[in-house]
A and B are shown apart, each in its own frame.
Chain A
Amino acid sequence: MHEQHHEHHEPGFWRKYIFSVDHKVIGIQYSLTSLLFLFFGFSLMMMMRWQLAYPGQPLPWIGRLFGEANMPEGVMVPEFYNQLGAMHGTIMVFLGVVPLAVGGFGNYILPLQIGAPDMAFPRINMASYWFLFVGGVVMLASFFLPGGAAQSGWTSYAPLANIAPTGQTAWLIGMIFLITSSLLGSINFIVTTVQLRVRGLSFFKLPFFVWAQFVTSFLLLLAFPPLEAAGVLQLMDRVAGTSFFLPSGLVVTGQPLEVSGGGNPLLWQHLFWFLAHPEVYVLILPALGIVAEVIANNTRKPLWGYRTMVYSLIFLGFMSFIVWAHHMFMTGMGTAMSTFFQATTMIISVPSVIILTCLAISLWGGSIRFTVPMHFALAFIPMFAIGGLTGLPLGLTASDLHLHDTYYVIGHFHYVVAPGTIFALFAGIYYWFPKVTGRMMNEKLGKLHFWLSLIFMNGVFTPMLLIGVAGVSRRLYDQTGYAHGAAVQDLTVFSSWSAWLLAVAQIPFIINFLMSMRKREKVRSDNPWEATTLEWATPTPPPHGNFPTAPQVYRGPYEYSVPGRSADFWPQHLPEEAESTQPRPATT
């Protein structure tokens, strides 16, 4: 026979690394971009923490670099403070955590875990990354507009945002790009999960991570369009002079506003939170998925209550669409509405508690390997629990009266997302790093990173809960101007120092990340963690097209410590006979 002409075009640099359609390259692009944005968003916050801890004092060393308009003599003006606040939230949520959790991990891991050669729509996948990139550039560029970037909070509440400087228009345009990006991504994830699973991989054999990404994609698909609608309406208000969110008779700085009126500022909040509450679950579900993978692998036993967790996940996704107005108890929308949303909010806490409980019980009786990813995953459980439980007083109308819009809200939300989701993301980075690069990350530096981060994370956010209970409003530029604020100023200083030290605690991670990519020894096995799921059945790093031959799945995702087997893990793709080291019991 003739030798098959196997033309293997080696793609050029641009096609291979920049405009790649390979889900793994896109996943890495997403991850690196979002890590940079996380660092940038963190830096914005560190500057805010200076103003909060030492109001009116010039920022040392770098204060004068930001120009006379923003920081005359190195002292931050309130408008610049507001820009930092609004952009910190926007960047962290839409350009940091979500692109890393969904775009990065989802893109890289999901097709591998279902045994697919790539995403269902590789080119749309590439487009989704580039939409995100353009959206990010628009957001960054908005700092250089006259009047600076958006400054009406990450929520862009109307009517304040309607009359804000040009930066707000850039924010809206940037958001439309980001929404398009996540829309394309979510379609891709859903189609890939449903259509491209390998033979034998039924839905209840999917790793929990895939389930989490799957449900998350539905949230992105269905919750983001209403924000897009809201964005279009606010853009019309700002550019075409309509009054969707401007009521009649609005007076701004003593002047009646020259608009037709008749709009409704609450409409913005409804449309915004219809997105932004599911968005909270977009932030947390992929994190739960990562933690579940790491915990199953490092306890060497199956997840406890896998099916219950999956059902809870689906219920959580569904419920997240009908809780949005618990952010709006204080708007005067009426007691009937408040009661309804209070009830749904209490209901939605149940599946979250179920999932978390399942993860905690999964530890029971395991022979735990205290690896670096496991450290982060273990810390995730109590940290996310604190975040979740501190949310309950906010979901009850009576206690929300006092806590609404205080630092308590910031503390609660950040407990969910920072030591919660971001810890899970770190767990994911340490866990999948050997698959992506072929090298393990350094264990000692990883543990140093973990312990310092854990201490300082709590140092940042625990004081916030207390400051909030003391009644300090979340958007204050200088709380010392109020007696109740001045009384807790020490806690604010403590929180600020913790934040700066938290930045220092990331140095071991950055060193570890960069050094391990080149210097560290290569992994000896494709499956260094002795895991069961399909991503470890590929060569390391996986080539274009992932699997040399399409695998077949024979069993559930977490077959660890199966009695009667010599190895304590039984990969999904190994047929029954492949490893018959143990003699079968005689069947007489």
Chain B
Amino acid sequence: MSAEVEIPYAVKPHPVTGLFNGKFGIWLFLASEVMLFGALFSTYVLLRVGAEAWPHGYSLLNVPLATLNTFVLILSSVTMVMAWASLKMGDFRKFRLNLGATILLAFVFLIVKSFEYGAKFEHHIHPATSTFYAIYFTLTGLHGLHVIGGILVNLYLLLPGSALWRTEPERFTNRIECAGLYWHFVDLVWIFLFPVLYLL
């Protein structure tokens, strides 16, 4: 390792902005994510407005499964906050439990989603079938990739990354907070996707 340079406000919040660098960074990253999904939702609106006929999501997609998934993701957001809160209170055991639950729920979400996808593929329904399915698969697929990304980050923080707790607890808590912000965003995207694709 090279002689590490001490970066100001890497752990402690800046007195003016009230943010440590990582938290500021993750907010900016989420802003760019808003633009990414914003562009995709705009695409949805434009294609739907321009279409001669547009199917209702509930007549083609499995609403009960998606409702279940919505609750699964909301629950995972709750456990994510609790993981962070447990660290704030210094309870590492409870943190592991909660973060583990978050990861587990994320897997439940993906499994349910793969059942939905599988049922469509069985009926020979693909992204190429129609514009509705094209945007459905693209949006939910990209969201799914974000879920997988979140699982990877959380798994890292649960297993090898958690060694940091013993040496730099504040820094580790900060990391969980950033991972949490990202995870809530992934949850939030789904909360928009669900009504737009399944209910409208």
The verdict on B140 contacting chain A, using a C-beta distance below 8 Å, is: no
The verdict on B129 contacting chain A, using a C-beta distance below 8 Å, is: yes
Q: Is the interface of B mostly helix, strand, loop or mixed?
A: helix
* Chain A nearest CB, measured from B51 CB (Å): 6
User: Which residues of chain A from 194 to 244 have any CB-CB distance to chain B below 8 Å in the complex?
Assistant: 194-196, 221-226, 228-230, 232-233, 236, 240-244
Verify B31–A271 contact, CB threshold 8 A: no
A233 to B24, CA, bound (A): 30
A243 to B9, CA, bound (A): 48
User: Which residues of chain A from 544 to 568 have any CB-CB distance to chain B below 8 Å in the complex?
Assistant: 544-545
Stretch at the interface among A52-60, A78-86, A116-124, A362-370: A116-124
Contacts of B8 in A (CB 8 A): 116-117, 195-196
Q: A191-B25, A224-B32 are in contact. Are A545 and B5 (CB under 8 A)?
A: yes
Contacts of A9 in B (CB 8 A): 1-3
Verify B47–A244 contact, CB threshold 8 A: yes
Verify A243–B131 contact, CB threshold 8 A: yes
The verdict on A520 contacting chain B, using a C-beta distance below 8 Å, is: no
Verify B3–A242 contact, CB threshold 8 A: no
Verify B35–A222 contact, CB threshold 8 A: yes
Verify B134–A121 contact, CB threshold 8 A: no
* Chain A nearest CB, measured from B43 CB (Å): 6
Contact of B50 among A226, A233, A242, A264 (CB under 8 A): A264
Contacts of A544 in B (CB 8 A): 2-3, 5
A259 to B134, CA, bound (A): 12
The verdict on B29 contacting chain A, using a C-beta distance below 8 Å, is: yes
The verdict on B167 contacting chain A, using a C-beta distance below 8 Å, is: no
Verify A117–B1 contact, CB threshold 8 A: no
Contact of A225 among B25, B36, B137 (CB under 8 A): B36
* Chain B nearest CB, measured from A467 CB (Å): 36
Most B C-beta atoms less than 10 A away, residue of A121, A195, A260: A195
The verdict on B40 contacting chain A, using a C-beta distance below 8 Å, is: yes
Verify A242–B134 contact, CB threshold 8 A: yes
Contact of A262 among B3, B7, B25, B131 (CB under 8 A): B131
The verdict on B59 contacting chain A, using a C-beta distance below 8 Å, is: no
Most A C-beta atoms less than 10 A away, residue of B7, B14, B24, B47: B7
The verdict on A97 contacting chain B, using a C-beta distance below 8 Å, is: no
* Chain A nearest CB, measured from B143 CB (Å): 12
User: Which residues of chain A from 301 to 340 have any CB-CB distance to chain B below 8 Å in the complex?
Assistant: none
Contact of B2 among A21, A183, A194, A243 (CB under 8 A): A21
A369 to B130, CA, bound (A): 66
Q: A15-B2, A260-B131, A271-B39 are in contact. Are A233 and B46 (CB under 8 A)?
A: no
- Residue interface bits B129-144, CB-to-A below 8 A is 1, else 0: 1110011011000100
Contacts of A221 in B (CB 8 A): 28, 31-32
Q: A120-B21, A191-B24 are in contact. Are A267 and B9 (CB under 8 A)?
A: no
A8 to B15, CA, bound (A): 31
Q: A117-B7, A118-B7 are in contact. Are A243 and B134 (CB under 8 A)?
A: yes
Contacts of B1 in A (CB 8 A): 9, 11, 15
- Residue interface bits A140-184, CB-to-B below 8 A is 1, else 0: 000000000000000000000000000000000000000000010
Verify A16–B131 contact, CB threshold 8 A: no
Verify B5–A194 contact, CB threshold 8 A: no
Interface size, chain B (Cβ < 8 Å): 44
A16 to B3, CA, bound (A): 11
The verdict on A187 contacting chain B, using a C-beta distance below 8 Å, is: yes
* Chain A nearest CB, measured from B14 CB (Å): 5
User: Which residues of chain B from 9 to 53 have any CB-CB distance to chain A below 8 Å in the complex?
Assistant: 9-10, 14, 17, 19, 21-22, 24-25, 28-29, 31-33, 35-40, 43, 46-47, 50-52
The verdict on B56 contacting chain A, using a C-beta distance below 8 Å, is: no
The verdict on B57 contacting chain A, using a C-beta distance below 8 Å, is: no
* Chain A nearest CB, measured from B188 CB (Å): 16
Nearest B-chain residue to A264, judged by Cβ: B50
Verify A264–B47 contact, CB threshold 8 A: yes
The verdict on B88 contacting chain A, using a C-beta distance below 8 Å, is: no
Verify A267–B36 contact, CB threshold 8 A: no
Contacts of A341 in B (CB 8 A): none
Verify B43–A271 contact, CB threshold 8 A: yes
A9 to B4, CA, bound (A): 10
Contact of B29 among A187, A229, A232, A263 (CB under 8 A): A187
A262 to B29, CA, bound (A): 33
- Residue interface bits B74-108, CB-to-A below 8 A is 1, else 0: 00000000000000000000000000000000000
Verify B31–A222 contact, CB threshold 8 A: yes
* Chain B nearest CB, measured from A581 CB (Å): 34
Verify B47–A240 contact, CB threshold 8 A: no
* Chain B nearest CB, measured from A577 CB (Å): 27
Contacts of A267 in B (CB 8 A): 43, 46-47
Verify B47–A187 contact, CB threshold 8 A: no
The verdict on A282 contacting chain B, using a C-beta distance below 8 Å, is: no
Nearest A-chain residue to B142, judged by Cβ: A232
Contacts of A409 in B (CB 8 A): none
The verdict on B169 contacting chain A, using a C-beta distance below 8 Å, is: no
Contacts of B24 in A (CB 8 A): 120, 190-191, 194-195
Verify A274–B25 contact, CB threshold 8 A: no
Verify A263–B7 contact, CB threshold 8 A: no
Verify B35–A244 contact, CB threshold 8 A: no
A303 to B110, CA, bound (A): 57
Most A C-beta atoms less than 10 A away, residue of B22, B32, B50: B32
Verify B31–A230 contact, CB threshold 8 A: no
Q: A120-B21, A196-B8 are in contact. Are A191 and B28 (CB under 8 A)?
A: yes
A124 to B25, CA, bound (A): 11
Verify A259–B5 contact, CB threshold 8 A: no
* Chain A nearest CB, measured from B48 CB (Å): 10
Contacts of A120 in B (CB 8 A): 7, 9-10, 21, 24-25
Verify B43–A262 contact, CB threshold 8 A: no
Verify A229–B7 contact, CB threshold 8 A: no
Contacts of B22 in A (CB 8 A): 121
The verdict on B168 contacting chain A, using a C-beta distance below 8 Å, is: no
Nearest A-chain residue to B135, judged by Cβ: A244
* Chain B nearest CB, measured from A549 CB (Å): 13
Question: 7 closest pairs, A vs B, by CB?
Answer: A241-B128, A242-B134, A11-B2, A229-B39, A225-B36, A226-B39, A225-B35
Sample of 8 A–B contacts (CB below 8 Å): A120-B21, A120-B25, A195-B9, A195-B14, A226-B39, A260-B131, A262-B130, A267-B47
Given contact pairs A124-B25, A244-B47, A271-B39, a sample of 16 additional A-B residue pairs in the complex whose CB atoms are under 8 Å apart? A9-B2, A11-B3, A15-B1, A20-B2, A117-B5, A117-B7, A120-B25, A221-B28, A221-B31, A233-B138, A236-B138, A242-B127, A243-B128, A260-B134, A264-B46, A267-B43
Which residues from chain B sit less than 8 Å from chain A, CB to CB?
1-3, 5-10, 14, 17, 19, 21-22, 24-25, 28-29, 31-33, 35-40, 43, 46-47, 50-52, 126-131, 134-135, 137-138, 142
